A and B are shown apart, each in its own frame.
Chain A
Amino acid sequence: MWSHELRERLLRAGVAPRHVRRYLTELREHWADLTAEELRAGRNRAQAEDLALARLGRLDDLARIMIERPELRSWTARIPWAVLGFGPVLGLAAAWGMALLILWSGWNWFLGGSLKGWQTPFVPVHGFAVVYFGVGRMLYFTAPLLAGWSMILLARRQRIQAVWPVILGSAVVALLGATGAVDVRLGSGDVGIRFFPPGLQYADAAGHAFLLFALVLFPYLVGRWRHSRPDPVRQ
């Protein structure tokens, strides 16, 4: 259908997905109105739809008038290196921040205050606390993957053709994810993330980083491979 082709053209040209989505919705509604108008004029359904499409405009023109407006371009298309390079860092910081907040609040709610006085964070928890801490731990451990996959989703959504910004973003998130670790100050009860903590095994960290890098990139590579294959339906 014309709207599918128009969507692909606009996204590949860098028009922001929200503008593309809305433009297509409006054009489809407009097309329906024009079709109804032609039906009222006595045309049959097929004629009415064809005439309505002709009145709406040629596909090239509908694409061009949108692409020619730089203010409607997405930030991912304008500065892919910044969005895909710094985006995962912010995403990782947000996910880790949320995980630490869950853990810190859990310690306060379920363990009667901060970690002051505790000699070890490994204390028994029961009931809802198990689920609560479980969510926090899962978010903490999956944060690099979530941040990386969000970046991949952003790149795919915008049909980014350049591979290097995605590789850059994946490398950044893998490096941070492999070298950052939760840091608990038992004395003060403070929690945070520390990069390259003492005792870090560099060989292990390198392996971890490579694994994260591969896992983040995997869906992107599969997506590109699938997209590069000819579509039998559209041939």
Chain B
Amino acid sequence: MTTSRETNPNFMNGVPELLILRLLADAEMYGYEIVQAIRDRTDAVIVVGEGVVYPVLHALERDGALKSRRKTVAGRSRIYYSVTKAGSRRLAALAAQWTNLAGAVQRTLAGGEYGHVVA
């Protein structure tokens, strides 16, 4: 009998997407704010390339996970992004996947029946 299992193709590939969806679930933001927020909330442990967020934002919007609107603030034209209902569902799924993955890695690092704590 064969069973199909989901694989984790790339550990870090979905991280910017997950972080962006999580941040935008709280409040609408534009690109610069998002990068600053990621840096602040992760205590600079995760520092994404400043320009990296935009292709992710465009792709998420194209998939219907985000919506955008142009707003002029202090004479500057900003494109603000916010999460849609589909985006909230995607965030929940990604967060569950990531929690599962992080838990598995943590259990492995902590050792168990066959291992020891890895310092």
Q: Does B77 contact A (CB under 8 A)?
A: yes
Q: Does A30 contact B (CB under 8 A)?
A: yes
Are the C-beta atoms of A56 and B77 separated by less than 8 Å? Answer: no
Are the C-beta atoms of A23 and B54 separated by less than 8 Å? Answer: yes
Top 7 A-B pairs, shortest CB-CB distance: A57-B51, A33-B32, A62-B51, A57-B49, A56-B50, A65-B55, A66-B55
Which residues of B pack against A, CB within 8 Å?
Answer: 30-32, 35, 49-52, 54-55, 58-59, 62-63, 76-79
A19-B58, A66-B54, A71-B63 known; 13 new pairs, CB 8 Å cut-off, are: A22-B79, A25-B77, A26-B30, A26-B79, A27-B51, A29-B32, A30-B51, A32-B76, A34-B50, A65-B55, A69-B59, A72-B59, A72-B62
A23 to B53, CA, bound (A): 10
Query: Could you tell me which residues of chain A, from 8 to 32, have a CB within 8 Å of some CB in chain B?
Result: 19, 22-23, 25-27, 29-30, 32
A224 to B54, CA, bound (A): 31
Q: Which of A27, A29, A32 counts the most chain B CB atoms within 10 A?
A: A29
Minimum CB distance partner of A70 in chain B: B59
A228 to B30, CA, bound (A): 39
Are the C-beta atoms of B58 and A61 separated by less than 8 Å? Answer: no
Give the chain B neighbours of A62 by CB distance below 8 A: 51
Give the chain B neighbours of A157 by CB distance below 8 A: none
Encoded as 1 (CB less than 8 Å from any B CB) or 0, chain A from 191 to 210 comes to 00000000000000000000
Are the C-beta atoms of A26 and B31 separated by less than 8 Å? Answer: yes
Query: Could you tell me which residues of chain A, from 62 to 111, have a CB within 8 Å of some CB in chain B?
Result: 62, 65-66, 68-69, 71-72
Give the chain A neighbours of B79 by CB distance below 8 A: 22, 25-26
Q: Does A55 contact B (CB under 8 A)?
A: yes
Are the C-beta atoms of A27 and B54 separated by less than 8 Å? Answer: yes
Give the chain A neighbours of B76 by CB distance below 8 A: 29, 32
